[in-house]
Amino acid sequence: MSISFEEMLAAFAEDDTNEFWEAGRYDQAITGLENSLRTAPARSKPAMQLKLSLCLRECGKPVEGSNLFSNTLKNLIEYPPTEELCSPIAEALCPIGEKYISVDSVCKAGWIFRTAAELFHRTNDDAAAIVGIVKCLANISSSNMNAYMYDAQKEQFLHDCVRSIHELIKSKDYFALFDHEPRRLASLYHDMAHSYSFIKKNTEEQHYYRSAVEAL
pLDDT digits (tens, 9 = 90+) for 51-90: 999 999 999 999 999 999 999 999 999 999 999 999 999 9
Q: What is the pLDDT of residues 162-171, one digit of tens each?
A: 999 999 999 9
CATH topology of 1-79 equal to that of 90-216? yes
| Domain spans, the chain | 1-79, 90-216
- Give the confidence band of 11 by pLDDT, cuts at 50, 70, 90: low
Q: What is residue 9's predicted lDDT score, i.e. its pLDDT?
A: 47
Answer with the residue of higher pLDDT: 148 or 45.
45
> What CATH number should be reported for the domain whose range is 90-216?
1.25.40
Neighbours of 15 (CB within 10 A): 11
CATH number 1.25.40 given to 1-79:
yes
Task: Select from 21, 10, 67 the least CA-distant residue to 48.
Answer: 21
Q: pTM to 2 decimals?
A: 0.90
Nearest-angstrom CA–CA distance, 80 and 67: 19
